Every structure is written in structure tokens, then in C-alpha cells.
């Protein structure tokens, strides 16, 4: 009896500083389940990080840290391919090839380019304009069936699909056209200080976001200061953005429904609920932080893993790149 081939999934994350509780509950926690069900490829997308000016030593540390954190979360190099993007040259090579099959007008319409240009008006570089093509290369190299996407990345997957279909239309069946993967579970975590906005590590108010590697004391302090409302009843409500957010976080960690949470805290105040949410987050993140502390100290072992991951990724990527180059007419 033939073994059933697993469907392929690819997901990448930038090493742009400390990853947050929002990253964890919204995406990373789902990656653990995905590696049991799918043939997964995960990358630290360091090439994407330099569209914004970086301090070299800090960027290097963030790459190490992000890779170590993915291991600490439980991603298993034996089950999945886990690598650093810049270690596989095929990403840059395919990006150039695909850029010649991408229209200027398509890139001009990308909303993230407009947003980031406004934020970094002193450095509107070509990389910032064309990085969706690099993202398409990241995806198409590994022929994934699915790519997990949030609302802010949907447009990038759409352009990757458009580029793949255009190339295949000219040269035949070269790239797999991936579908978006919508996780069965995954919380959209909002700012603890302005719960109408998504939790973001770029927020200047440090009390608005929780880092995966925050200390228990810092986590508890941030939840105690979380913005709520004046009703003082733990339940979902149309204008109860702060409480809705805390219920969502507590639900994602405990597995309890909003109705069960409302019943659990019936007759109790927001102070009790904030403590409970904070404690649940502390205990959820504690083993990750402890594993991270051990992994990041052993740079030699870390290097062995990311070098092996790059070799594994390189093998798959080079086959796709060679096929695409041969179709275009390059001499190989």
C-alpha cells in the first residue's frame, strides 16, 4: 500500500525584533499543528528585513533569535524544513527572473508599499517596491499547496498566484499555484492599550503588546494595565473592545468558549479577569522562554541546525529554479 503524500505548506517570518503574543496566537501556534499534518517549510525571511535600514549587529542577533525561538516553539527540523532565507541563493535568483514577468502597475497597486513608503519617506527604495516579487519567489520555489495568510498578506499571495499562472501560461506546468490556508484556530490579538488596533511590536507604548519572551512580571503588569470599559461585566459586547480582546486571548489559550468564560467570571470584576488572563499567558509562554534560553546559549548547535536546514531547502529550491531557467532559455 502506497503511503499518502502529505500536502505542502510554506510560511516565512521576518526577524524584525521580538515576536509578540499576537504572532504566537495568530500564526505560530498553528505552525506546530501544521507540521504534523503537512510537509512544512518554514523560513526566517531576513532578506525582506533590509527594505528598512538595519543596524548590522542588531539584525544578526535578531536572525539568530528568531531561528532559536522557532525551535523553542516546538518546530522540529526532523519533521519540517526550517532555514534562514539568505542562506539559499535561489530566492534572489528566482526573484530576478520573476520580476521580468511582473508588471510595474501590479507592484504600484500593492497597499503595503504605499503604507511603508509613508512611514519611511526618507528611504523609498526599489527593494521596498519589488519585495512582493521576492515573496512570490519564496513561495513558488517550494511548490507549496497552501500558504497561511493573514488579512495583511492576502494581496501578496494573490500576486504570487498571478505571477505563477502567467509564467505557467507561457512555459507550461512549472510552478504550483498555491491556495491560501485558513487555520481552523487562530486569534486576532489586539493592542492592550488601544484594542481597536492590532497588537504590534512597533507600537511605541510598550504596555500595548506582550513579547513571547517577556518575563512573567512584565506580562502580569501589562495585563493589569489593559484597557477595558466601565460596564465591569466579563462578556462579549459590541463596544467592549478591550474585554472582547481579553476573552479572545483567554479562549485561544484555554480552549474555552466565550460563553464558558462569561459563566466562569459571572459576578467577578475585571481585576480578577485580567489576573486570570495574565496568568494563563505566563504559563503558556513559560516553557517556550525556558527552551529559548537554553537554545540561544549554544550557538554551535544552533549553527548545525540552520546549516542543515539550508541544505535541505537548497535541494528543493534548486530543482524549481533550474526548471524555470531552462524553460526561459538559459544555458544550464
201 part of the active site: yes
Q: Which of 116, 143, 240, 274 is catalytic?
A: 116
Residue 280 CA: distances (Å) to CA of 70, 261, 272, 294, 318 = 21, 13, 12, 23, 44
Q: Which of 198, 222, 240, 274 is catalytic?
A: 198
Per the DSSP assignment, residues forming a β-bridge with 12 are 43
What pTM was estimated for this model as a whole? 0.90
Evaluate whether 212 touches 21 at the Cβ level (below 8 Å): yes
What is the DSSP annotation of 3-71?
PPPPPEEEEEE---S--BHHHIIIIIHHHHHHHHHSEEEEEE-HHHHTTS---HHHHHHHHHHHHHHHH
CATH of range 8-186+298-328; options 3.50.50.60, 3.20.20.140, 3.30.230.10, 3.40.50.620: 3.40.50.620
- What pLDDT score does 151 carry? 63
The domains of the chain are located at 8-186+298-328, 206-293
Evaluate whether 47 touches 86 at the Cβ level (below 8 Å): yes
- What pLDDT score does 122 carry? 78
206-293: CATH topology is: Tyrosyl-Transfer RNA Synthetase (1.10.240)
Give the C-alpha separation, 249 to 202, whole Å. Answer: 20
Q: What are phi and psi of 147, to 5 degrees?
A: -130, 120
- What pLDDT score does 184 carry? 66
Three-state DSSP class for 291? helix
Evaluate whether 270 touches 243 at the Cβ level (below 8 Å): yes
Q: Render pLDDT for 142-171 as a digit per residue (tens, 0 to 9).
A: 999 999 987 667 788 999 999 999 999 999
Residue 140 CA: distances (Å) to CA of 59, 164, 190, 200, 254 = 26, 7, 31, 28, 36
- What pLDDT score does 3 carry? 53
116 part of the active site: yes
Radius of gyration of the chain (CA): 21
8-state DSSP, 195: T
Give the C-alpha separation, 111 to 113, whole Å. Answer: 5
- What pLDDT score does 41 carry? 97
For 179, the enclosing helix (H) or strand (E) is strand 179-181
Q: Which residues of the chain have pLDDT under 70?
A: 1-4, 151-152, 184-186
Give the C-alpha separation, 45 to 57, whole Å. Answer: 17
Grid coordinates given for 322: 533550474
Q: Render pLDDT for 178-192 as a digit per residue (tens, 0 to 9).
A: 999 877 666 789 999
222 part of the active site: no
Q: Which of 201, 256, 312, 327 is catalytic?
A: 201
Place of cell 499567558: 281
Sign of the Cα torsion 95, 97, 99, 101 reads negative
Amino acid at each position: 500500500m502506497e503511503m499518502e503524500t502529505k500536502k505542502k505548506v510554506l510560511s516565512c517570518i521576518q526577524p524584525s525584533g521580538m515576536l509578540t503574543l499576537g504572532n504566537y496566537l495568530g500564526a505560530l501556534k498553528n505552525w506546530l499543528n501544521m507540521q504534523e499534518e503537512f510537509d512544512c517549510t518554514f523560513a526566517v525571511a531576513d532578506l525582506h528585513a533590509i527594505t528598512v535600514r538595519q543596524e548590522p549587529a542588531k539584525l544578526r542577533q535578531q536572525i539568530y533569535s528568531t531561528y532559536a525561538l522557532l525551535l523553542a516553539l516546538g518546530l522540529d527540523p526532523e519533521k519540517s524544513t526550517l532555514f534562514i532565507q539568505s542562506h539559499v541563493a535561489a530566492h534572489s535568483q528566482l526573484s530576478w527572473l520573476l520580476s521580468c514577468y511582473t508588471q510595474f502597475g501590479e507592484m504600484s497597486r500593492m497597499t503595503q508599499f504605499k503604507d511603508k513608503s509613508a512611514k519611511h519617506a526618507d528611504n523609498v527604495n526599489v527593494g521596498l517596491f519589488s519585495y512582493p516579487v521576492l515573496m512570490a519567489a519564496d513561495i513558488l520555489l517550494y511548490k507549496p499547496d497552501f500558504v497561511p495568510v493573514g488579512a495583511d498578506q492576502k494581496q501578496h499571495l494573490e500576486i504570487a498566484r498571478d505571477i505563477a499562472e502567467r509564467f505557467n501560461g507561457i512555459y507550461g506546468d512549472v510552478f504550483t499555484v498555491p491556495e491560501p490556508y485558513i487555520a481552523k484556530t487562530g486569534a486576532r490579538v489586539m493592542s492592550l492599550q488601544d484594542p481597536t488596533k492590532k497588537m504590534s511590536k512597533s507600537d511605541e507604548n510598550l504596555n500595548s503588546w506582550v513579547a513571547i519572551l517577556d518575563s512573567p512580571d512584565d506580562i502580569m503588569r501589562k495585563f493589569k494595565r489593559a484597557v477595558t470599559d466601565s460596564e465591569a461585566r466579563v462578556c462579549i459586547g459590541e463596544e467592549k473592545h478591550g474585554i472582547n480582546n481579553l476573552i479572545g486571548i483567554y479562549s485561544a489559550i484555554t480552549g474555552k468558549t466565550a460563553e464558558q468564560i462569561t459563566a466562569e467570571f459571572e459576578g467577578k470584576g475585571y481585576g480578577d479577569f485580567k489576573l486570570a488572563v495574565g496568568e494563563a499567558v505566563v504559563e503558556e509562554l513559560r516553557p517556550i522562554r525556558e527552551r529559548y534560553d537554553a537554545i540561544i546559549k549554544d550557538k554551535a548547535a544552533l549553527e548545525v541546525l540552520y546549516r542543515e536546514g539550508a541544505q535541505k531547502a537548497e535541494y528543493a529550491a534548486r530543482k524549481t529554479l533550474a526548471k524555470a531557467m531552462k524553460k526561459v532559455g538559459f544555458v544550464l
